[in-house]
Chain A
Amino acid sequence: MKYPDKNGHFGEFGGRFLPETLIALHDELEGVFKSALKDPQFKKEFQYYLNEYAGRPTKLYYAERLSQRLKTLKVYLKREDLLHTGAHKINNTLGQILLAKRMGKTRIIAETGAGQHGVATATAAALMGLECVIYMGEEDTRRQSLNVFRMKLLGAQVVPVTSGSRTLKDAMNEAIRDWVTNVDKTFYIIGSVAGAHPYPLIVREFQAVIGREARRQFLKAENKLPNYLIACVGGGSNAMGLFHAFYKDKSVKMIGVEAAGHGLNTVEHSAPLAKGKIGVLHGSKSDLLQTEDGQIQVAHSVAAGLDYPGVGPEHSFYKKSGRAEYVAVEDREAIKGLKLLSETEGIIPALETAHVFAYLPKLARKLKRQQSIIVCLSGRGDKDMEQIKELI
């Protein structure tokens, strides 16, 4: 069985829950995407921008001092943080903007939380000379003012969203409202493996380069497959990007790390896989933070990029089928994770990615003998310096 099925379902998850106005567009996008994947010219162009512009392939770096510290884990870092714009997000925005051009769209819109996807989208739009509008919760524009400035420098218009909770989910609502209104000329670049079919599939395919490279690089270095893969999960695009190429390697265990915010026993966290209930938001069915009455709850995480009440449908599917395990790490632990990597390897990760490094010592303690692990080092910490300064 291949996932998703023809209607975009990953088992009971995924699908296409959208206003009718957007259905024809999704049908068209699905067709364009499938033909692009078969078109050598498209693949060549995409690979060109990934390599020459974004800086692929990224290194798979053996983290020797971190491994010594952890004792039972031999850690390899997949260095997505070294890509242009500082995170894995650029892989996807380059792919989607090429699709937008194929469809003859002249206007790009996107939502952003921390601003990383917004910056990556504004970057790709500047590269291709397309108009770009970024929706960002008013709350987030304050928390991440530097990224707002970056997006503006790149020529994008940043619209602060004042509806609802004024965070990422509301930015996505507002982007969808724009899209319904300007459907003819507008392409919506979704930043995670979320949204209605075919978006979770598109984003997975454009991010899958992470896992394909890592698999090849690890085999070359160790002449075997790794025991573990690990990545942080907000919507889950860097995790799915790493996991996908290993899906059939049954011996390889996968771990996704969600944000437990102030704790899983509070209401202030961003861990729908741990504590949510199946529901529908922004076009697809997945685990979701919601009230008894079916209202969407506001998520919380110190990492704005994980601050989302839903998760990509394929992660819900991985969890339900047992293909991956999902754990959660609190804000204060994430800060410790950030220090751990900074001090042992001289690499300051993004707050999102820091959640993974907080979990590694916990995993290491459970292991009896040494196991190998690939960490998706999805982003660098530069964007978070102001915030971290206040937290430490």
Chain B
Amino acid sequence: MNRIDQTFSRLKQDKRKAFIAYITAGDPDLKTTEQLALALEQSGVDILELGVPFSDPLADGPTIQAASQRALAAGTTLPKVLDLVKKIRRTSNMPLALMMYYNQIHSYGEQKFVKMVADCGVDGLIVPDLPPEEATDLIKYAKAHDVSTVFFMAPTTKPERMTKIARHSTGFIYYVSLTGVTGARQAIPSSVTRKIREAKKITDKPICIGFGISTPEQIRTMKKVADGVIVGSAIINQIVKHAGQSDLVPKVSKFVRTLSRALD
């Protein structure tokens, strides 16, 4: 049982839902990401998704694309992100998952990559362009190092495929709320609650919902059906808003607190 599994089992006992925050590592710089990560832990974040910036993030909308470009321009690389994870691990036991594209994993070699990230204290991998069919080896290595492999379900996923995804997904299942890319939205399709209930019938694994979620109201709706909510672009918008200011970290933390409280 890694930190992600422990967190979900604790939340279940407490009858609570998980608040999962996404930030892009290195945006605006790695030092700020480190401070943010530790501050977010104090702001009700149960699991932190650290985005590894990639040149061609095809599942991401404009907000995370821009964050990735800023992070790359600031010189962020995978080894530097892993150094960051080690630093966070000195003082924090918060579950950490890397959200990244498959090419970087492939370029380091899957086996070597998994060992590297596990040694640094990473608990999970979320790879939006890697469906389970192409992930046989990664799943095998991740299992050996007790690293979760989180797979996605989408509104277009057929029921028989849901079973397969649920079987391969560990840690939790990432339910994509809408057909589209990442990015804060005013409205989430209402059909999503029905679809998550369907998915719940086929698996006991935690299902967390992400893409588009940006307001406490949306979170209050989602918590009725999902085991957790994932917020990314809305947080990054706050980072952009307070960029260059000395109180960026407290300002962003305060915003995150308003979202995580919606789960109380």
Report A's interface with B, CB cutoff 8 A: 7, 15-25, 163-164, 169-170, 173, 176-177, 180-184, 277-283, 285, 288, 290, 292-296
Task: Name the contact of B134 in the complex, choosing from A15, A21, A24, A181 (C-beta under 8 A).
Answer: A15
Count chain B residues whose beta carbon lies closer than 8 angstroms to a beta carbon of A.
Answer: 42
Other than the given A22-B156, A23-B156, 12 more pairs (CB < 8 A) read: A19-B129, A19-B154, A164-B65, A173-B57, A181-B179, A280-B106, A282-B58, A288-B103, A292-B107, A293-B79, A294-B103, A294-B106
Whether B107 pairs with A293 at a CB distance below 8 angstroms is yes
Flag whether B216 is at the interface (Cβ < 8 A): no
Pairs A-B, 4 closest by C-beta atoms: A294-B107, A294-B104, A20-B152, A21-B154
Q: Which residues of A contact B158 (CB under 8 A)?
A: 24
Whether B151 pairs with A164 at a CB distance below 8 angstroms is no
Flag whether B84 is at the interface (Cβ < 8 A): no
Q: Which residues of A contact B179 (CB under 8 A)?
A: 21, 180-184
Flag whether B225 is at the interface (Cβ < 8 A): no
Q: Mark B73-117, 1 if CB is under 8 A from A, else 0.
A: 000011100000000000000000000011111111000000000
Whether B72 pairs with A279 at a CB distance below 8 angstroms is no
Whether B176 pairs with A281 at a CB distance below 8 angstroms is no
Q: Which residues of B contact A24 (CB under 8 A)?
A: 156-158, 161
Q: Which residues of B contact A7 (CB under 8 A)?
A: 133
Flag whether B248 is at the interface (Cβ < 8 A): no
Whether B61 pairs with A23 at a CB distance below 8 angstroms is no
Count of A-B contacts with CB under 8 A?
113
Q: Give the complex CA separation of A367 and B135 in angstroms.
A: 46
Whether B131 pairs with A18 at a CB distance below 8 angstroms is yes
Q: Give the complex CA separation of A281 and B69 in angstroms.
A: 17
Q: Give the complex CA separation of A278 and B153 in angstroms.
A: 28
Shortest Cβ gap from B198 to chain A (Å): 15
Q: Which residues of B contact A25 (CB under 8 A)?
A: 156
Flag whether B19 is at the interface (Cβ < 8 A): no
Q: Which residues of B contact A184 (CB under 8 A)?
A: 179
Whether B131 pairs with A295 at a CB distance below 8 angstroms is no
Whether A181 pairs with B181 at a CB distance below 8 angstroms is yes
Q: Give the complex CA separation of A182 and B176 in angstroms.
A: 15
Q: Give the complex CA separation of A283 and B55 in angstroms.
A: 15
Q: Which residues of B contact A292 (CB under 8 A)?
A: 107
Flag whether B8 is at the interface (Cβ < 8 A): no
What are 28 A-B contacts defined by CB distance under 8 Å? A15-B134, A16-B134, A17-B102, A18-B129, A18-B131, A19-B128, A19-B129, A19-B154, A20-B151, A20-B154, A21-B180, A23-B154, A23-B157, A23-B161, A24-B157, A24-B161, A25-B156, A180-B179, A181-B181, A280-B101, A281-B56, A288-B103, A293-B77, A293-B78, A293-B79, A293-B107, A294-B107, A296-B56
Shortest Cβ gap from B207 to chain A (Å): 13
B residues 101-148 with Cβ under 8 Å of A? 101-108, 128-131, 133-134
Residue of A whose beta carbon sits closest to that of B127 = A17
Residue of B whose beta carbon sits closest to that of A170 = B56
Q: Give the complex CA separation of A7 and B131 in angstroms.
A: 12
Q: Mark B150-179, 1 if CB is under 8 A from A, else 0.
A: 011111111001000100000000001001
Known: A183-B179, A295-B72. A17 touches B107 (CB 8 A): no
Whether A180 pairs with B129 at a CB distance below 8 angstroms is no
